[in-house]
Amino acid sequence: MLNQKRHVDLLTAFPILKRLLRSRSFQPGMMLLTLFVFTLVILTGLFGTPAGSRNFGIIFVWIVWWGLLIIMLVPFMGRFWCSICPIPAPGEWLQRRNIITKRLPKLRTLNKRWPRRFKNMWLQNFGFLAVALFSVIILTRPQVSAWLLLSFIMLGVVLSVFYKNRVFCRYVCPVGGFIGLYSMTSPLEVRVNDPSVCLTHTSKDCVTGNEYGYGCPWMVYPGRLDRNIDCGMCMECLKTCPKNNIALNLRPFGTDLTVQKAHKLDEAYKAFIMLACAMVYSIVLLGPWGELKNAANMQSLPHWLAYATGFLTFVLVLVPGIFGVFSSASWLLMKRSLPLRKVFIDFAYTLVPMGLAAWVAFSLGFVLINGSYALSVLSDPFGWGWNLFGTAEAPWVPAAPQLIAFLQTGVLVAGLLFSVQTGYKIAREQVGRHRKAFTVMLPNSFFLTLVTVVFMWLYLG
Amino acid sequence: MTFREAAARTILVVILLGLPIGILGYRYVLQPFLSPETTFEVQAYAPESGGFSPAVIQVEAGKEVTLRFTSMDVTHGVAIGPGLDAAIDHIDPGEQGEITLTFDKPGTYTYYCTTWCSADHWRMRGIIEVRDPVNPDLLPQVQSDPVIEGLLEEGIDIDADHEGEALAIAPSAARGGDLIESVIVPDEVRQVDWQRTHSPAEALTILQTQNASYSDAELRDVIAYLWMLNTTSTVDTIQTYNQNCAACHGESGNGAGPAAYLTADVPAVFDDPGYMFSMRADVLYAKIRRGGMGTDMPNFGTLFTREETWALVDYLWLLAFEPTLNE
């Protein structure tokens, strides 16, 4: 393995953090807080002003929450959001018939089996695309946003009635899909201190649950956990592990991306979809082409159909296709020593840091520009002329507009460097020797550079 | 059940039931009960996207109402007429503005956009039906306008094409002012009512018979002066013209406003003295209030009072005979 163990267990370093995360109240407490905001988002969406910039729901979901998620939480804390997300909370509490303490030995569900063919990311991929296609409408119309979020929470509840654990989060949630993928770059991970302890431990409380907590709601076996993608950081295993073997590690960025045994096509496609969507959004929402924006905004059905067709072709065919050409070059350079499909999927993981950087750069643009709306909607969440905290008349002030381009450039360059480094590591795992790996990764690095240049041109043009 | 569990469940109930019931109950039950003032939320979209929403509002006479306008797409302006002097100059996209007023008399009022917002800008209107609380089924009908009735009786076609004659020298009220003492002017020609029902050209025919020593150009100057005598235009009139007419007719009245190219017919040119010299004030008045059939000239009868309309007509004469006053 190339990865030397370079990490710090935060639970050992900060006992107070361990106490907090072991407490059965912490997660539900956070969930109640986010559920409060969520309920307000739904209410303002359904009953408040249709003017997006004056509506708490739009501003707090698509600017405040989104900004926090993509710029702060995902890059630095991985799937932490999933542990405090309000959407699965009602369903989970229904399954447990309790909010805080563990009461029942087993979850109350109809115990249906989740179909095998959906035990992957494809539903999340297409769910995300479906939302992305209507995003311009969703982002600007509070009512549409509210119904969308309501449908998520309803789906979460319904699925929790039929299936055990967090099936919605792992296989369905369109947001969970990309948070999972990008959390592999984050420097925070839940792992076991010593895998050999788990091997010899027969009762596997982390899977079955005990009086201190439930079996892993994410259907993961912590003893073999080696990627962040499926771990929702709910810390249930920390509560149940009788061996005190669970760690919350601080580690180098992007550690999970080179673990090859679990590279899959659905995840590779998630990487394509996310990267391509960041590009489409940047073009449509920030670009100078009003026609495109109108088409995305459903100016007319034919316009939108043309936009949707173009969008899907670009995301699902064009970007993977161009990437495929570069992967084929790598494959030829390694004298076809591995199957082309494997080379293609492996190298797709180099798009993860790049994609995350692109989303951060894109989001910095509108979050800093529009962040100040948060002040006025706090005082007048419905746009009804209230002034709860005296900030209703707060003017719209773009934050650091002259800095945005520099920040975006820095983020994109960092993303490129991380991606190139990931490409090198993957190539080393594929072909072993340094010189050969360097040759094999060249086409991929060229593709990554090309993508970065396109983003730079879009943002700095 | 532990205390923590009970607390968590209580909080959950407060969030899922208390919050919606509290907020919506306050907004839709308690607030209307507590405060006599009614607020109407009106979203302003360009006409192509639906115009004002709602487009009809019903209120009771004598009750204070607030209309909160939210601009949903581009910058709009809002005014309520006729004769209320209630306006918001401009509301930028996503911004809000409100007008609070009390309608004393039952009747129909119009709120309309005052900023050129799209090709169909003038269609952006909404109606306020003010009803008598004692007799809510009775909505006063719009009274017929004696001026327009008079034109119909006279057999004058308001929509007929009007061609003026080209004048070599533009009439000047200033020069006419110097001559007014020496030129013989019949009393009736000095009367507002007469001027409003006759064209300057008709006045010229009368003056020519009594003032043979003066040239036609000099007499035209005198007539321009006479037509300026009774003007009722104010600064407000100029603003009304600029907000509602200038987009097509031009601020100077040159018929070449920024939206002139969109209209079905070429907008009338008010700073063409030849055109205006053979035009009657009451015909201008009727065109403004009733609109022009097939020309894209909107009707403004529901927006302005009759006095405001006459003031506008007076301003058109000013553009024709004394354009420098406008500079």
Q: Domain ranges for chain B, please list them.
A: 38-131, 146-325
Task: State the pLDDT at residue B39.
Answer: 86
Burial A355-378 (b: 16+ CB within 10 A, else e): bbbbbbbbbbbbbbbbbbbbbbbb
What residues contact residue A433 under an 8 Å CB cut-off, 6+ apart?
A: none
Task: State the pLDDT at residue A90.
Answer: 97
pLDDT > 90: what percent of chain B?
A: 64
- CATH superfamily of the domain spanning B38-131: Cupredoxins -  blue copper proteins (2.60.40.420)
The CA distance from A8 to A247, in Å, is: 9
Residues A227-230: contacts with CB within 8 Å, 24+ apart? A227/A184, A227/A256, A227/A259, A227/A262, A228/A78, A228/A79, A228/A180, A228/A183, A228/A184, A228/A186, A228/A188, A228/A189, A228/A190, A228/A256, A229/A180, A229/A181, A229/A183, A229/A184, A229/A256, A229/A267, A230/A170, A230/A180
> For residue range B113-169, what is the model confidence (pLDDT) as tens digits?
999 899 889 899 999 999 988 888 877 777 789 999 999 899 998 888 887 888 888
Residue B13 touches partner A, C-beta closer than 8 Å: no
Torsion of CA A47, A49, A53, A58, to 10 degrees: 10
Task: State the pLDDT at residue B231.
Answer: 84
> For residue range B48-81, what is the model confidence (pLDDT) as tens digits?
989 999 999 999 898 889 999 999 989 999 999 8
Chain A hits for B54, CB-CB cut-off 8 Å, are none
Cβ separation A54–B94 shorter than 8 A: yes
Cβ separation A52–B94 shorter than 8 A: yes
Cβ separation B19–A99 shorter than 8 A: no
* Residue A127, both tokens: 């769910």
What is the residue whose two structure tokens read 């509490």?
Answer: A93
Chain A hits for B19, CB-CB cut-off 8 Å, are 36, 39-40, 43
DSSP state of A119: S
DSSP state of A163: B
Q: What is the average pLDDT score of chain B?
A: 90
* Identity of residue B23: I
Task: State the pLDDT at residue A3.
Answer: 45
Task: State the pLDDT at residue B327.
Answer: 44
* Residue among A29, A47, A385 whose CB faces B68 most closely: A385
Chain A hits for B41, CB-CB cut-off 8 Å, are 49, 383-384
* Identity of residue A383: G
Domain range list for chain A: 8-250, 264-460
Report, as an integer, the average pLDDT of B231-241. 88
Chain A hits for B25, CB-CB cut-off 8 Å, are none
Q: Which CATH number fits domain B146-325: 1.10.760, 3.40.1350, 1.10.287, 1.10.8?
A: 1.10.760
3 state SS of B131:
strand
> Residue B226 in contact with residue B195, Cβ under 8 Å?
yes
The nearest CA of chain B is from the CA of A31 a distance in Å of: 10
Cβ separation B20–A43 shorter than 8 A: yes
Please, is B174 exposed, middle or buried when counting C-beta atoms within 10 Å of its C-beta (0-12, 13-18, 19+)?
middle
Provide the residue-wise pLDDT of chain A in tens; the chain has 461 residues: 344 567 899 999 999 999 999 999 999 999 999 999 999 999 999 999 998 999 999 999 999 999 999 999 999 999 999 999 999 999 999 999 999 999 888 999 999 999 999 999 999 999 999 999 999 899 989 999 999 999 999 999 999 999 999 999 999 999 999 999 999 999 999 999 999 999 999 999 999 999 999 999 999 999 999 999 999 999 999 999 999 999 999 999 988 998 666 789 999 999 999 999 999 999 988 778 888 888 888 878 899 999 999 999 999 999 999 999 999 999 999 999 999 999 999 999 999 999 999 999 999 988 999 999 999 999 999 998 899 999 998 988 989 889 999 999 999 999 999 999 999 999 999 898 889 999 999 999 999 999 999 999 998 87
Residue B90 touches partner A, C-beta closer than 8 Å: no
pTM for this model (two decimals): 0.85
Neighbours of B32 (CB within 10 A): 12
> Residue A349 in contact with residue A263, Cβ under 8 Å?
yes
The nearest CA of chain B is from the CA of A95 a distance in Å of: 15
Chain A hits for B75, CB-CB cut-off 8 Å, are none
Residue B98 touches partner A, C-beta closer than 8 Å: yes
* Residue among B11, B24, B71 whose CB faces A32 most closely: B11
> CA angle at residue B80 from B77 to B82, to 5 degrees?
135
Q: What is the C-alpha radius of gyration for chain A, rounded to an integer number of angstroms?
A: 23
Residue of B3, B5, B74 for testing the chain A interface, max A β-carbons within 10 Å: B5
pLDDT > 70: what percent of chain B?
A: 98
Report, as an integer, the average pLDDT of B195-205. 94
pLDDT band at B324 (very low <50, low <70, confident <90, very high): low
Give residue A128's Cα distance to chain centre: 11
